Structure 1
Amino acid sequence: MSFPTIQWYPGHIAKAEQQLTNGLDKVDLVIEVRDARIPVSTSHPHLKKWIQGKQHLLVINRRDMVSGEAMHSWDKWFRDQGQTPWWCDAKRGTGVKQIQQAAIRAGDHLNQRRLSRGMRIRPVRALVLGFPNVGKSALINRLVRQKIVASARRAGVTRTLRWVRVGQDLDLLDAPGVLPPRLDNQKSALLLAICDDIGMGAYDVQVVAVEFLKMLALLENKVEVSNQILHTRYGIPFPTEPDECLKWLSLLAQRNTSGQIERMAQRVLDDFRKSHLGLISLELP
């Protein structure tokens, strides 16, 4: 199966990565945030290099957007790999308190070592990193219990590093979302585009929407999405054959957006991103 070419601009990425590298020197713990719908594709290929010598906390956000079965399968998969995933819905706050407690515990050994050397204890310093729009700023706002950093469902809102204090035990460093300079796996790039984890300038909305619909046609028996949900929402039966998805999108456009396919494509993607199409995991272990 071929995938559309999705590209972004390394100049902005290089600047964000330099900021992140500078921030790593100041922290004890790295809190990595991923998207529950695509928990593998939102793992940065440079992560192992960045967390070397640091404590690592794996947070998987948007647990509300996938089924309990998918979450359970991924949880087992990560634990089999020797990792403990912390699941949350940063928008509503589910699971955030447990993440805060885990972050503080991760720094306990640091302060024990400081005490043994006659030094004063200090808050754990944690860097929050991840791809754009996976929910880093929303998580920080929930931890602080106020909207202290900009948060929105679009990529590129956070532009600079910023320290935020969480009580007396934890300091967080909010970093801009960082993409790899290039992504050789175009399927992963497509998934990032579908989930709105990269900027719209990197892809063609209509092409990405059609590829998303093809995935639904192929995955229909494996995820909690059905012909009925799509039929009810859009008024036209959803095709079971991937090759019919462009025609289906064109029919929707004629019915809803005066024949403007790109506008209809954007509406379909937005509906998925707001969970109006059901609980859909685009990656499964």
Structure 2
Amino acid sequence: MSAPPIQWYPGHIARAERQLKEQLKKVDVVLEILDARIPLASHHPQIDNWIGEKPRIMVLNRVDMIPESAKQDWSTWFKSREQEPYFANAKQGKGIKAIKVAAQKKGLAMNKRRRDRGMRPRPVRAVVIGFPNVGKSALINRLVGKKVVVSERRAGVTRQLRWVKISQEIELLDAPGIIPWRLENQQDAIKLAICEDIGQASYDNQVVAAAEVDLLLKLDYGKVLQSRFNLDPTGMTGEAFIQEAGDRFYKGDKERVARQILYDFRTGNMGQIPLELPPSVNK
């Protein structure tokens, strides 16, 4: 099944990226939100250049959607690269306290430098950045302790930058999801589409669902598909699995099968499944 490359760069993201680059000059610490199911694919390749030497807090959100073993593997891998990962389930409020404490610590260091220069202390200015729909708004609402920004399970809800006061110590900039203007790595683009971290207008459900089946088989999750669809995928391509499931159970409706496969993964109905593991432990 051939399909055009997955590309998605709506106008509001282009505007937000320009504004974000301007605001980054005023920011003391960056909270980068990654999808715990795909930490590498959900890392924006240009963020490192944008933030330079600014302190970064790396948050792997949706940790409830991966097994504990994968969490430990990622923790070990990031620490081996001298990065401290913070794991969160923003929807349930888990891991939020540690993130807030980390941001406040960065603020203490910033204000010490200000005092050393004879300047008054001020609240630490943090920004939350990441791909669309990785849970930035849900995280902000948890950090503030009330619903201050709209949070929905779809890409492109936040469309403009706004400052939100968390406490006397922290001010937070909520930015729309950002995405490269061109997705060079189409394997990563497929993973972003599977996890719904990119706008639905950018992809074909059947193509992405077929790629998901192929990926699940590669990662030894074929039994999950078999139990969900009462169909053994062994030896099948993803495209063939969708065709067969459609013919058997959905009156030939392949689109319905594709939507069901994507929905079951995205909502956790398939269980805890990481689509990426650290390079050293990839299956």
Work out the number of aligned pairs and report it: 277
For each residue in 1:51-78, what CA deviation from the matched residue of structure 2 results, as whole angstroms up to 9, or x when unmatched? 1131111111011001111111111111
Q: Which residue of 2 aligns with 1:187?
A: 187
Residue aligned with 2:26, SS: coil
Residue aligned with 1:30, SS: strand
Q: Which residue of 2 aligns with 1:246?
A: 239
1:146-165 correspondence runs (5 A): 146-165=146-165
Please report how far the alpha carbon of residue 242 of structure 1 lies from its aligned counterpart in structure 2 after TM superposition: 4.0
1:1-285 correspondence runs (5 A): 5-9=5-9, 11-220=11-220, 225=221, 227=223, 229-234=224-229, 236-243=230-237, 245-254=238-247, 256-285=249-278
Distance 2:8 2:114 in 1: 43
Distance 2:150 2:80 in 1: 35
Give percent identity, aligned residues only.
51
Question: If the length of structure 2 is used for normalisation, what is the TM-score?
Answer: 0.92
Distance 1:124 1:242 in 2: 53
Distance 1:67 1:269 in 2: 19
Distance 2:171 2:249 in 1: 48
Distance 2:227 2:40 in 1: 31
Distance 1:48 1:141 in 2: 26
Query: Contact (CA 8 Å) 1:13, 1:180: kept in 2 or not?
Result: no
Query: Contact (CA 8 Å) 1:33, 1:59: kept in 2 or not?
Result: yes
Distance 1:152 1:13 in 2: 17
Residue aligned with 2:191, SS: helix
Question: If the length of structure 1 is used for normalisation, what is the TM-score?
Answer: 0.92
Query: Contact (CA 8 Å) 2:205, 2:255: kept in 1 or not?
Result: yes
CA RMSD of aligned residues (A): 1.8
Distance 1:161 1:208 in 2: 31
Distance 2:144 2:232 in 1: 43
User: Aligned letter for 1:231?
Assistant: Q
- Structure 2 unmatched runs, 5+: 279-283
Residue aligned with 1:93, SS: coil
Please report how far the alpha carbon of residue 80 of structure 1 lies from its aligned counterpart in structure 2 after TM superposition: 0.7
